[in-house]
Amino acid sequence: MTDHDHHHSLLELRQVSRHFGSFRALDDVALTVRAGARHAIIGPNGAGKSTLFGLISGTLPVTGGSVFVDGKDVTRLPVHRRVGLGVAATFQHSSLFLRESVLENVLLAVLRRAGGGLGGLRRVGARPKELAQAHALLERVGLPTRHEATAAELSHGERRQLEVAVALATGPRLLLLDEPAAGMSPAETARLTELIAALPGEVTVLFVEHDLDMVFELADTVSVMHLGRHLMTGSPDEVRASSEVQTAYLGTVEVSS
Ligand code: ADP
Ligand code: MG
């Protein structure tokens, strides 16, 4: 199954498509994400960015093409098998357990990875290793003092930080972040940007973001999508300089240079 020709890329999309009836939300998109990249995807609303993430994480089946993770064809694998291969996603719409504490949200994810399942939460007292891991993850995302709060009590920005901790708990090699800064204050966005920048190099980050300052601060590679198509992939400078991109997208948005 392993395709050694593509071992240098952690993620490879080969002409993936997603049609809804006759509507082509994604049409023949080819994209490669290098291991260790900080890779941003930009494009106007409706470009197909979230749909693309669905095809990568496995929440949405492709209607054409193939998805490879580390050279392995995962196109037909369900979400949990992809998580097992190191693909973790935070979603545009939060999937936290709002009535559970911050610590419990992270512990559940840690225990799920350890094979504990949901019932594992009751054995938390007997699992000091996972408890320590959960506290370490909260430290990493900047929430070390918020472990006793319920997820519902967190600010919008703190919830996003918690979502990243939950995603990191699965031990991802590829972290998918769909508009992580959406609805955040400038201060929260700055904190999140720092957090992502500080992630270890073993975690490849693919993120969708409308905040172009954040994109150009974090990304080493930028892909531009428009109307279900991949327009271009390049360095931040190449993307900023592209007249095609400016016409399709950047022309409608103010970009600081
Ligand atoms: P983006 O994240 O870039 O804003 P999306 O991937 O959410 O774009 O959506 C791309 C296009 O696909 C949009 O026009 C959207 O309305 C359409 N779309 C997304 N999901 C569905 C669905 N389940 N059924 C029909 N159309 C959909
Ligand atoms: Mg979207």
Ligand nearest to the Cα of 180, by number: 2
Closest ligand by atom to 43 CA: 1
Q: 245 falls in which pLDDT band (50, 70, 90)?
A: confident
Does ligand 1 come within 6 angstroms of the Cβ of 51? yes
Please tell me the distance between residue 18's alpha carbon and the centre of ligand 2 in angstroms: 14
Q: Is 18 in the pocket of ligand 1 (CB under 6 A)?
A: no
pLDDT exceeds 80 at position 257? no
| Residue nearest atom 25 in ligand 1 by C-alpha distance | 20
Long-range contacts of 95-101 (CB under 8 A, 24+ apart): 95/163, 96/151, 96/159, 96/162, 96/163, 96/166, 97/151, 98/150, 98/151, 98/152, 99/150, 99/151, 99/152, 100/150, 100/151, 101/147, 101/148, 101/149, 101/150, 101/151
Under the banding of pLDDT at 50, 70 and 90, the label for residue 118 is low
| All structural domains of the chain | 1-86+172-257 (3.40.50.300), 96-170 (no CATH)
Q: Does any ligand 1 atom lie closer than 6 A to the CB of residue 41? A: no
Percent of the chain predicted with pLDDT > 70: 87
pLDDT class of 6 with cuts at 50, 70, 90:
very low
**Sign of the four-CA dihedral 151, 145, 137, 67:** positive
Residue of minimum CA distance from atom 18 in ligand 1: 25
Give, rounded to a whole angstrom, the gap between the first and last alpha carbons of the chain.
Answer: 45
Q: What is the per-residue pLDDT across 29-81, written as a single tens digit (0 to 9) for each? A: 999 999 999 999 999 999 999 999 999 999 999 999 999 999 999 999 999 89
User: In terms of Cα–Cα distance, which of 72, 8, 84, 47 is closest to 223?
Assistant: 47
**Cβ of 48 below 6 Å from ligand 1:** yes
| Burial environment of residue 5 by CB neighbours within 10 A (0 to 12, 13 to 18, 19 or more) | exposed
User: Of the ligands numbered here, which is closest to the C-alpha atom of 230?
Assistant: 1
25 Cβ below 6 A of ligand 1: yes
* Amino acid 111: pLDDT: 86
| pLDDT value of position 91 | 67
DSSP 8-state code for residue 248: H
Mean pLDDT of 2-10: 59
Which residue out of 18, 19, 23, 41 has the highest number of ligand 1 atoms within 8 Å of its CB and is therefore the one to mutate? 23
Per-residue model confidence (pLDDT) at position 90 = 82
Which residues have their alpha-adjacent CB atom under 5 A from ion ligand 2? Answer: 49-50
Please write the tens of the pLDDT for every residue from 146-180.
999 999 999 988 999 999 999 999 889 999 999 99
What per-residue confidence (pLDDT) applies to 207?
Answer: 97
Mean pLDDT (the chain, rounded) = 88
Residues 185-208 pLDDT 10s:
899 899 899 999 999 999 999 999
Per-residue pLDDT at 244: 77
CA distances from 256 to 49, 217, 222, 226, 241 (A): 23, 11, 16, 21, 12
